[in-house]
């Protein structure tokens, strides 16, 4: 197996994609969303970070975080968040049919894919592209007609802050996914 190297920059801003194992569709369940919020709050007590953008879909999530200037350890944060959801909701969501010998050996659940995808944001243009991608994602996947129709997103916060106009995501000039390139 190759030695996988993650981007590690103190105070970096990162884009993440985190998926459920086998793309199970439980992330929008009320109890799972509550456990996600709990995990985020728990980890922020000891390892603060800023959530710049977020979207939650049934089987995966995308987000952008900025870490403190002296910190680069996003992996520890994801461990706590994923573990919290697993501990709170694992009994209900565990899928013995998805359990493998390797997962058993590693004491992993069947809720999350083992790895996640991260990308260091390079500059303001890169940041803007990824924030747009996050907020457009429910429309791309057919879960909403417009970005404002999707309740599980920071889009509404960004509208309130004046970052987006309320009608963003319905203009024909941005409905072509090619505007976002290959981010997933």
5-41 in b/e form (b: 16+ CB < 10 A) is: eeeeeeebbbbbbbbbbeebebbeeeebeebbeebbe
Place of tokens 């991260």: 118
Cα–Cα distance for residue pair 77/137, rounded to 1 Å: 23
* Number of neighbours of residue 112 by Cβ within 10 angstroms: 19
Q: Rounded to the nearest 10 degrees, what angle do helices 30-46 and 74-93 cross at? A: 150
User: What would the two tokens of residue 44 be?
Assistant: 């922020």
Residues labelled as active-site residues: 152
| Residue positions counted in the chain | 184
- Residues forming beta bridges with residue 18, ordered by sequence position: 61
């Amino acid at each position: 197996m190759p030695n996988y190297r993650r981007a590690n920059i103190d105070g970096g801003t990162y884009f993440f994609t985190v998926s459920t194992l086998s793309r199970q569709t439980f992330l929008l369940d009320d109890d799972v969303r509550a456990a996600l919020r709990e995990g985020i709050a728990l980890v922020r007590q000891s390892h603060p970070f800023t959530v710049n953008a977020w979207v939650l879909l049934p089987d995966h999530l995308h987000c952008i975080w900025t870490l403190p200037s002296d910190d680069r350890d996003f992996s520890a944060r994801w461990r706590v968040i994923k573990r919290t959801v697993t501990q709170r909701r694992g009994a209900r969501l565990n899928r013995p049919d998805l359990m493998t010998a390797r997962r058993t050996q590693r004491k992993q659940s069947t809720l999350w894919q083992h790895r996640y995808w991260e990308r260091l944001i390079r500059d303001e243009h890169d940041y803007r592209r990824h924030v747009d991608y996050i907020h457009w994602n429910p429309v791309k996947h057919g879960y909403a007609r417009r970005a404002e129709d999707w309740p599980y997103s920071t889009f509404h916060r960004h509208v309130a802050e004046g970052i987006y106009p309320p009608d963003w995501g319905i203009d024909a000039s941005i409905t072509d996914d090619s505007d976002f390139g290959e981010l997933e």
